[in-house]
């Protein structure tokens, strides 16, 4: 549908066409994964450069609320990496890469202590240890937190470290494409736009790390920030890298429902972790039907489906939601443990959560799928391209546990940074393919010479509405096929998308390029969802309601010629010593 050869204009480039920057390791993304990767690469003596499309410190990670999962055992001494490993595999519905889960569960502990050494101020237990709260489907109390502003403290701390080390960064730079070397086998350069001036920048490097976050903005109702348009997944795919399990999109059970402007905004799982109770419009505590043992602290996919089912069955509120109540914990406790939630509801919805119930409904929150990476190094299937954080796949399988992303971005950000620096130490900056660069410059500038006048802002909206309508919590072949058809129509329109005005701060230009990425990512999600003919984790098919052993497969998406193709690959089998740790 959307090919990497779509819409180009002929250009010849010379040294005046762009500014050139050369480094050993280029890190694309200033979220937790990108910053931790940059620290590691720099500490391993690689000349490292960070670029991000918003301002440094504003990355999506800053929004993280509930906490960071690591089996410190501070509150529940029985906890250990082995239990965290088991929880991650079981709740990932056995699609996770076991080696990634093992590395993750073991190393998350040290990454949290390291963050503390870097200066993060965690909430404390009465004895002065890092405090840990319960979260859905974690066997023990495991989420280290700073009230409900954990992401803010994480980013602040890492940013301090980056600045203290003098690691150079360029913000408000949107990278659009990876360029290969002459032989086409290795990544050699990246093309970017300086958003402030509209000038093109050519980054030349020995290795590049994609830490570009997720793609939640391809959905209408989402907790994600405006940045999450799936650029990294699209760039990697266009450069020939394999994607994996793109159908696995997490619907968080609790998003705000009104006012319209904040629909989808996250209501952190910490509300349920701190004792929040879900009821339907009839006042029934409905989780007794769906998971009587774990109740509100069941896995996210289970709670999201439960809320969805209550609403569809007509037991929702007038606003199409259910109630979440934390008021029984008392005003002082709520204001201390959930200060952002208190402010958010009071300011946006006029609801005082210390006295009143919240109305909540599912919202798109996270991509479990993404670029396929090597578990040890984060290298993708294209040499020289590494990926870490939400853009990468493999750890969370069919359903991510709350809190596992913040530890994921530190563990695998650090690993990717280290591996990229090691590779860079033994090589020269490769030559890039000039023809490929010219072709990419042509693609990137083509919106200015478009004969059409389609407005990319409306196209973004059309993509998001289509995905919400046809590729939601409950899927089936007819809806998915209709979604693909509608996406094709949007894609035809998108070829006529036009950038108007000068290049500096030109939102219509940036939006057009993002629309193209969003179409590609949406197509990968829909086609993978059509491919997986079973219900597993976040992917529920009403026409294939059972989970099937035969489907213990990762779905690989890769470009062959101009075609998006799929391959089923059996999930690597757990070795016996790790299989022995699994407790359902």
Ligand X SMILES: Cc1cc2nc3c(=O)[nH]c(=O)nc-3n(C[C@H](O)[C@H](O)[C@H](O)COP(=O)(O)OP(=O)(O)OC[C@H]3O[C@@H](n4cnc5c(N)ncnc54)[C@H](O)[C@@H]3O)c2cc1C
Question: Which of the residues are catalytic?
Answer: 252, 272
In angstroms, the CA 341 to CA 495 distance is 41
Of 266, 307, 368, 382, which one interacts with ligand X (CB under 6 A)? 266
405 binds ligand X (CB under 6 A): yes
CA geometry: angle 552, 555, 559, nearest 5 deg: 165
In angstroms, the CA 325 to CA 328 distance is 8
511 binds ligand X (CB under 6 A): no
As measured in angstroms, the least distance from the Cβ of 459 to ligand X is 18
31 binds ligand X (CB under 6 A): yes
Decide whether 52 or 538 has the Cβ nearer to ligand X.
52
52 binds ligand X (CB under 6 A): yes
Contacts of residue 488, Cβ cutoff 8 Å, sequence gap at least 6: 1
Of 32, 136, 394, 418, which one interacts with ligand X (CB under 6 A)? 32
As measured in angstroms, the least distance from the Cβ of 108 to ligand X is 10
Decide whether 375 or 389 has the Cβ nearer to ligand X.
389
Determine the interface stretch with ligand X among 47-55, 159-167, 540-548, 574-582 (rule: CB under 6 A): 47-55
Before 259, cis peptide (omega within 30)? Answer: yes
Number of residues that bind ligand X (CB under 6 A): 43
64 binds ligand X (CB under 6 A): yes
Decide whether 63 or 90 has the Cβ nearer to ligand X.
63
344 binds ligand X (CB under 6 A): no
As measured in angstroms, the least distance from the Cβ of 355 to ligand X is 24
**Alpha carbon distance, N-terminus to C-terminus of the chain:** 41
28 binds ligand X (CB under 6 A): yes
Of 4, 38, 42, 54, which one interacts with ligand X (CB under 6 A)? 54
Buried b (16+ CB within 10 A) or exposed e, 275-301: ebbbbbbeeeebbeebbeeebbbbbbb
273 binds ligand X (CB under 6 A): no
In angstroms, the CA 236 to CA 241 distance is 5
Q: x-or-dash pattern for ligand X, window 65-84, by CB under 6 A? A: xxxx----------------
Decide whether 63 or 103 has the Cβ nearer to ligand X.
63
Which 162-191 residues touch ligand X, going by CB under 6 A? 173-175
Which 148-167 residues touch ligand X, going by CB under 6 A? 150-151
Determine the interface stretch with ligand X among 31-39, 71-79, 279-287, 466-474 (rule: CB under 6 A): 31-39
Determine the interface stretch with ligand X among 75-83, 108-116, 349-357, 404-412 (rule: CB under 6 A): 404-412
Cα 103 to Cα 376, 462, 536, 542, distances in angstroms: 8, 40, 24, 35
In angstroms, the CA 81 to CA 97 distance is 16
Of 21, 60, 206, 541, which one interacts with ligand X (CB under 6 A)? 60
37 binds ligand X (CB under 6 A): no
How many helices and strands, by DSSP H and E, does the chain display? 16, 22
In angstroms, the CA 518 to CA 460 distance is 8
In angstroms, the CA 180 to CA 430 distance is 9
Q: Quick one: DSSP state of residue 211?
A: -
Determine the interface stretch with ligand X among 61-69, 274-282, 327-335, 569-577 (rule: CB under 6 A): 61-69
In angstroms, the CA 185 to CA 241 distance is 11
Decide whether 59 or 302 has the Cβ nearer to ligand X.
59
Contacts of residue 126, Cβ cutoff 8 Å, sequence gap at least 6: none
Decide whether 102 or 231 has the Cβ nearer to ligand X.
231
30 binds ligand X (CB under 6 A): yes
In angstroms, the CA 156 to CA 457 distance is 32
555 binds ligand X (CB under 6 A): no
What phi and psi, each to the nearest 5 degrees, are found at residue 354? -80, -15
What is the distance of C-alpha 393 from the center of its chain?
A: 9
276 binds ligand X (CB under 6 A): no
Buried b (16+ CB within 10 A) or exposed e, 101-126: bbbbbbbbbebbebbeebebebbeee
Q: Which helix (H) or strand (E) holds 402?
A: none
Decide whether 267 or 530 has the Cβ nearer to ligand X.
267
Of 38, 63, 90, 146, which one interacts with ligand X (CB under 6 A)? 63
Cα 472 to Cα 379, 469, 508, distances in angstroms: 31, 6, 28
Decide whether 26 or 556 has the Cβ nearer to ligand X.
26
In angstroms, the CA 2 to CA 519 distance is 7
Which 373-392 residues touch ligand X, going by CB under 6 A? 389-390
Which 190-219 residues touch ligand X, going by CB under 6 A? 211-213
Contacts of residue 288, Cβ cutoff 8 Å, sequence gap at least 6: 295
As measured in angstroms, the least distance from the Cβ of 427 to ligand X is 24
39 binds ligand X (CB under 6 A): no
Of 88, 96, 131, 223, which one interacts with ligand X (CB under 6 A)? 223
Which residues are near ligand X by CB under 6 A? 28-34, 51-54, 59-61, 63-68, 150-151, 173-175, 211-213, 223-224, 227, 231-232, 266, 366, 389-390, 402-406, 409
């Amino acid at each position: 549908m959307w090919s990497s050869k779509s819409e180009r204009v002929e250009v010849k480039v010379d040294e005046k066409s762009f500014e050139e920057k050369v480094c050993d390791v280029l890190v694309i993304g200033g979220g937790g994964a990108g910053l931790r990767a940059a620290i590691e690469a720099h500490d391993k003596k690689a000349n490292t450069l960070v670029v991000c499309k918003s301002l440094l410190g504003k990355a999506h990670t800053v929004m993280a609320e509930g906490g960071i999962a690591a089996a410190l055992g501070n509150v529940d001494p029985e906890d250990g990496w082995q239990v965290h490993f088991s929880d991650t595999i079981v709740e990932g519905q056995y699609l996770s890469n076991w080696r990634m889960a093992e590395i993750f569960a073991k190393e998350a502990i040290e990454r949290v202590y390291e963050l503390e050494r870097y200066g993060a101020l965690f909430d404390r237990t009465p004895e002065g240890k890092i405090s840990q709260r319960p979260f859905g489907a974690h066997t023990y109390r495991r989420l280290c937190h700073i009230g409900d502003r954990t992401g803010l403290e994480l980013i602040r701390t890492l940013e301090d470290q980056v600045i203290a080390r003098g690691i150079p960064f360029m913000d408000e730079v949107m990278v659009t494409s990876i360029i290969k070397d002459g032989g086409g086998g290795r990544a050699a350069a990246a093309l970017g736009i300086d958003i402030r001036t509209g000038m093109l920048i050519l980054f030349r490097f020995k290795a590049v790390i994609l830490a570009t976050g997720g793609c939640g903005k391809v959905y209408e109702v989402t907790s994600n920030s405006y940045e999450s348009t799936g650029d990294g997944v699209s760039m990697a795919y266009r450069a020939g890298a394999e994607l994996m399990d793109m159908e696995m999109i997490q619907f968080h059970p609790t998003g705000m429902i009104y006012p319209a402007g904040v629909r989808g905004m996250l209501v952190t799982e910490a509300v349920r972790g701190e004792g929040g109770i879900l009821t339907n419009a009839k006042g029934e505590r409905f989780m007794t039907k769906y998971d009587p043992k774990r109740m509100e602290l069941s896995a996210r996919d289970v709670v999201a489906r439960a809320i969805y089912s209550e609403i569809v069955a007509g037991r929702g509120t007038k606003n199409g939601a259910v109630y979440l109540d934390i008021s029984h914990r008392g005003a002082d406790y709520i204001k201390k443990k959930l200060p952002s939630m208190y402010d958010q509801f009071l300011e946006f919805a006029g609801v005082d959560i210390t006295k009143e119930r919240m109305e909540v409904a599912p919202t798109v929150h996270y991509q479990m799928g993404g670029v396929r990476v090597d578990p040890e190094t984060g290298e993708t299937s294209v040499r020289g391209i590494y990926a870490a954080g939400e853009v990468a796949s493999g750890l969370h399988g069919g359903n991510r546990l709350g809190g596992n992303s913040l530890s994921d971005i530190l563990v695998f950000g650090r690993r990717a940074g280290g591996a990229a620096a090691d590779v860079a130490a033994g090589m020269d900056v490769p030559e890039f393919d000039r023809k490929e660069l010219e072709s990419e410059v042509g693609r990137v500038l083509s919106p200015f010479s478009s004969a059409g006048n389609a407005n990319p802002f409306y196209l973004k909206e059309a993509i998001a509405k289509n995905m919400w309508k046809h590729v939601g919590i409950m899927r089936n072949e007819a809806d998915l096929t209709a979604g693909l058809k509608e996406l094709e129509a949007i894609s035809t329109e998108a070829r006529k998308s036009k950038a108007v005005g000068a290049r500096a701060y030109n939102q219509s230009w940036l939006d057009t390029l993002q629309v193209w990425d969003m179409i590609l990512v949406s197509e990968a999600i829909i086609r993978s969802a059509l491919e997986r003919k079973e219900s597993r984790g976040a992917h529920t098919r009403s026409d294939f309601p059972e989970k099937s052993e035969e489907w213990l497969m990762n779905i690989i998406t890769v470009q062959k010629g101009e075609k998006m193709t799929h391959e089923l690959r059996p999930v690597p089998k757990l070795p016996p010593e790790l299989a022995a740790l699994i407790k359902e």
